Structure 1
Amino acid sequence: MKKKETDNLQQELMDSPDLTRFLSQNQNQFVNKSTAELLNLLFEKKNISKATLAKQSCMSEIYLHQIFAGRRNPSRNRLLCLCYGLEANVEETQELLKLCGMAQLYPKLKRDAIIYYGLQHKLNLFEINDKLFDENEETLF
């Protein structure tokens, strides 16, 4: 079955008099992938080893393997560190955050604007963390 556009699905939800019926009719429209599965899909697109990813994401290889195995769920900050480590672009990062049920980067928030800028301009994690620190914002790690 064809995937519905988000706006169409939202309108259908708003117009539906019966939630149970809506859910049953649209069960194949919902995202059913875990954070680990979503990260693995992004990881497979990149030409990087897990050892390099761990180093570029400023996390231990053990913790990284636990995330990819689905035994640990990263926080939003750790997920953003992984996006920097994977050299993900803004669109990939926003999609991953959204599908993992986390807040997307919101440029009206100073901290998010700094992180967004770093992704857009391909800064590394250390550079963006330094900028966050300089601006008195919470660092990513």
Structure 2
Amino acid sequence: MKKKNTDNLQQEMMNAPDLNQFLSRNQESFVNASVSELLNQLFERKNISKAALAKQAGMSEIYLHQIFAGRRKPSRNRLLCLCFGLEASVEETQELLKLCGMAQLYPKLKRDAIIYYGLLHGLKLFEINDKLFDEDEEILF
């Protein structure tokens, strides 16, 4: 069975008289990938070593390997650090956040706007942390 898009799922959900029936009919449409699987998919599309990624993401190689092995689940901030380290696009970052069940970047929030801008313009993580600090916003790490 083909996966349904979000609009189709929402429409079907509104018309479904029974939640259990809806859930069983749509099992193949739900996202089942773990954070580590999603990160590995993104990592494989980039030309970077895990050692370089750890350095660019501001984390230890041990912690990075634990995330990629599925032994640790990163916070939203750490996931954003990884996106900067992977030089992910805004679209890749937003998709990763969404699929991991985390809030996407919302440009109406000053902190998120700074992070969004950094991704959009290819800024490095330390540059974004400096700007967040200067603007009295929580840094990423």
Q: Which bracket does the TM-score occupy, shorter chain normalised?
A: over 0.9
Matched, 1:47 2:53: no
Contact 2:67 2:73 in 1 (8 A): yes
Unaligned runs of 5+ in 2: none
Q: Which residue of 2 is the match for residue 78 of structure 1? A: 78
CA offsets 1:8-55 (integer angstroms, 9 cap, x no match):
111111110000000000000000000000000000000000000000
Corresponding residue number in structure 1 for 2:27: 27
Indicate the residue corresponding to 1:109 in structure 2: 109
The one-character-per-residue Cα deviations of 1:99-123 (angstroms, maximum 9, x if unpaired) are: 0000000001000000000000000
Question: What SS does the corresponding residue of 1:101 show, helix, strand or coil?
Answer: coil
Distance across 2 between alignment mates of 1:138 and 1:17: 44
> Residue in 1 aligned with 2:124?
124
Normalised to the residue count of structure 2, the TM-score between the two structures is 0.99
Is 2:55 the counterpart of 1:58?
Answer: no
SS at match of 1:130: helix
Q: Aligned-pair RMSD on alpha carbons?
A: 0.5
Q: Residue type of the partner of 1:47?
A: N
TM-score by length of 1: 0.99
Q: Could you report, residue by residue, the CA deviation over 1:66-119 in whole angstroms, capped at 9, with x for unpaired residues?
A: 000000000000000000000000000000000000000000100000000000
SS of the residue corresponding to residue 71 of structure 2 reads: coil
- The whole-number CA distance in structure 2 between the counterparts of 1:100 and 1:111 is 20
| Distance in 1 between residues matched to 2:12 and 2:123, nearest whole Å | 41
Identity %: 82
Contact residue 2 and residue 28 of structure 2 kept, 8 A = no
Ranges in structure 1 where 5+ consecutive residues have no aligned partner: none
SS of residue in 2 equivalent to 1:103 = coil
Q: Distance in 2 between matches of 1:14 and 1:109?
A: 31
8 Å CA contact 2:78, 2:140 repeated in 1: yes
Letter in 1 for 2:3: K
